[in-house]
Amino acid sequence: MKNGNGILRFLACGSVDDGKSTLIGHLLHLTGNLYDDHLRILQEESARIGTAGGVTDYSLLLDGLMAEREQGITIDVAYRYFDTPGRKFIVADTPGHEHYTRNMATAASQCSAALILVDACRGVMPQTRRHALICALMGIRHLLFVVNKMDIAGWAEHVFRNVEAQCGLIAGELKHFGLSLAECVAVPVSALHGDNLVALSQKTFWYEGTTVMEWLQRIRPRARMERAAPRLPVQYVIKVARSGNAWQNGVGEKIRNWDTGTYRSYAGTLVSGRLKQGDRVVVLPSGLRTRVNEIWCGDLEVQEATAGMAVSLTLEGEHDIVRGEVIAPEDDTPEVAHLFKAQLVWMDEQPLYAGRHYLFKSLTGTATAEIIRIRNRIDPATYQRLAADHFSLNDIGEAEMALSRPIPFDPYHKNRETGGFILTDRLSNKTVGCGMIMHAMRRAGNVHWQFGEVERGERAAIKGQKPCVVWLTGLSGAGKSTIANCLERKLHGLGRHTMLLDGDNIRHGLNKDLGFTEAGRIENIRRIGEVAKLMADAGLIAITAFISPFRAERDMVRRLL
């Protein structure tokens, strides 16, 4: 069997025109992965629209989408595959424009290594620093700075050494920032002419490092996940009734005569570590303790599963485990929390403000997430943490979040699979951001809800009314306050216990610290929503009159109640 050394996914990034597309196209060619008909089309196109002046323009190979070809820029991630006797490579070619940082983060989330292109003559650009940061943040620990266009730089060693030193600084700063790399080196190349891509070039006789290809062959992409603690998030529960007709043809008697009425196995990918038959495990968040009975890999029973394998487990005893629960060894479990700090990459045109709610999805389940506080934003060019009260498109920073229920997780630096999550907008269904969990926050344990004493319904019963919140909204001067006053007067006349919350009054008291910025308005509405909820809990009919300009905040209030 070929490709015995598995698959390496890597990312190629850098500023526009640094030569990514040329580099990948040329690598494909040099490793014998271009077909004749593709090469023929490529040469025709090079002659017609190429920018390489007579030489084959390998960049044309990757600019797949028509729109891009017309605009002359790369707008999305393109994937390329190449086979070598040692291993199979999956390359993500990502756009250099700042606007597409989100695409880069996306590609990086699935890669184990990154090539960062740097134009030898221009040196390190802000974009280079940004890309190195995103790669490191997304958990890539192998970076190769590919110093390109050395032909234009006259193959001068001092040009390369200079850029190499700048790259070394980046690695140092990343480390200082808390993101240490396993490997970070530089190689001088000409993507156009092919020097140092697969064979060391005479033109850089002063260079003694590896070629791009050697570097890629040497990485062990799976070692980390194999060493990490075992985690199997349940993806799907396989259930077959003994006497039913859902059995695959040819399934043996041993399986069909399952001792209980229904065959049940838990299907999922062991994302990290190893798991053996007979291992004692705990299922989280339910806390159930049991033992691994059998491990199935398709229709084969195996003794042991290792990281990356899609398996299904049967467990000792009969249980009702659901999708999203995590199976982990008893002595090395993930944390379970609903309040934590995370690094976010914001991917939506609509900015993120504290107080907003989104749908959270990780391998270990879905929940509603509220962004409680934005702690800071990271300047991707200087790696400084800056004060921030919102995130705009492509911003990266730290935030505190609260989920509607506790979920199991590992800190991202320990486990890239169980530490990552996405946020989606519940109206548009768009993916608005992604995040890496840093750690749980203790507050979760402290603020316990007090149950058991007087219930909400009991309070209402004393008053003999159905408590609720009447939320009046509309533009300034539309007549909200007038109607609200009238309404309260009438209800009062009917002997109801009411309370009117009016915008101006609240702004003078409870919310006098808030301004009229977008963040201020959101917080204003959030507080009023909370107060109205407390009043309804107290058994009152609360009436509010506020300009509530954002749909997201109106929805937030609805959810509160």
Ligand X SMILES: Nc1nc2c(ncn2[C@@H]2O[C@H](COP(=O)(O)OP(=O)(O)O)[C@@H](O)[C@H]2O)c(=O)[nH]1
Which residues contact ligand X by CB under 6 A?
14, 16-22, 51-52, 57, 59, 96, 117, 148-149, 151-152, 190-192
Q: Which of 53, 287, 298, 495 binds another protein (CB under 8 A)?
A: 298
Q: Which of 324, 299, 322, 298 is nearest to 406 (CA)?
A: 324
Q: Which stretch binds another protein (CB under 8 A): 114-122, 124-132, 361-369, 503-511?
A: 361-369
User: Does 106 engage in binding with another protein (CB under 8 A)?
Assistant: yes
Q: Which is nearer to ligand X, 192 or 282 (CB)?
A: 192
User: Does 235 engage in binding with another protein (CB under 8 A)?
Assistant: yes
User: Does 422 engage in binding with another protein (CB under 8 A)?
Assistant: yes
Cα 553 to Cα 355: distance, rounded to the nearest angstrom: 8
Please count the residues of the chain: 561
Residues classed as catalytic: 548
User: If DSSP states are collapsed to H, E and C, what string results for 86-106?
Assistant: CCEEEEEECCCCHHHHHHHHH
User: Does 316 engage in binding with another protein (CB under 8 A)?
Assistant: no
Q: Which of 210, 296, 393, 496 binds another protein (CB under 8 A)?
A: 296
* Measured CA distances, 124 to 14, 155, 163, 378 (Å): 10, 18, 7, 19
**Binding residues among 317-346 for another protein as defined by CB under 8 A:** 323
What x-and-dash track marks residues 17-36 binding another protein by CB under 8 A? ------------------xx
Q: Which residues partner with 440 through β-bridges?
A: 340
- Answer with the entry of another protein, ligand X, none that 21 interacts with (C-beta below 5 to 8 A by kind): ligand X
What is the nearest approach in angstroms of ligand X to the Cβ of residue 17?
A: 4
Q: Which of 49, 55, 79, 178 binds another protein (CB under 8 A)?
A: 79
- Whether the Cβ atoms of residue 17 and residue 98 lie closer than 8 Å to each other: no
Q: Which of 125, 156, 198, 309 binds another protein (CB under 8 A)?
A: 309
Number of residues that bind another protein (CB under 8 A): 78
Q: Tokens at residue 84, please?
A: 């070598």
Q: Is 527 exposed, middle or buried (0-12, 13-18, 19+ CB in 10 A)?
A: middle
What x-and-dash track marks residues 239-268 binding another protein by CB under 8 A? xx-----xxxx-x---xx------x---xx
* CB neighbourhood size of 313 (10 A): 24
Q: Which residues partner with 545 through β-bridges?
A: 472, 502
- Answer with the entry of another protein, ligand X, none that 88 interacts with (C-beta below 5 to 8 A by kind): another protein
Cα 409 to Cα 411: distance, rounded to the nearest angstrom: 7
Q: Which residues partner with 151 through β-bridges?
A: none
What is the nearest approach in angstroms of another protein to the Cβ of residue 145?
A: 25
User: Does 77 engage in binding with another protein (CB under 8 A)?
Assistant: yes
Q: Is 48 exposed, middle or buried (0-12, 13-18, 19+ CB in 10 A)?
A: exposed
Q: Which is nearer to another protein, 312 or 333 (CB)?
A: 312
Cα 527 to Cα 522: distance, rounded to the nearest angstrom: 9
DSSP, res 179 = -
- Answer with the entry of ligand X, another protein, none that 190 interacts with (C-beta below 5 to 8 A by kind): ligand X
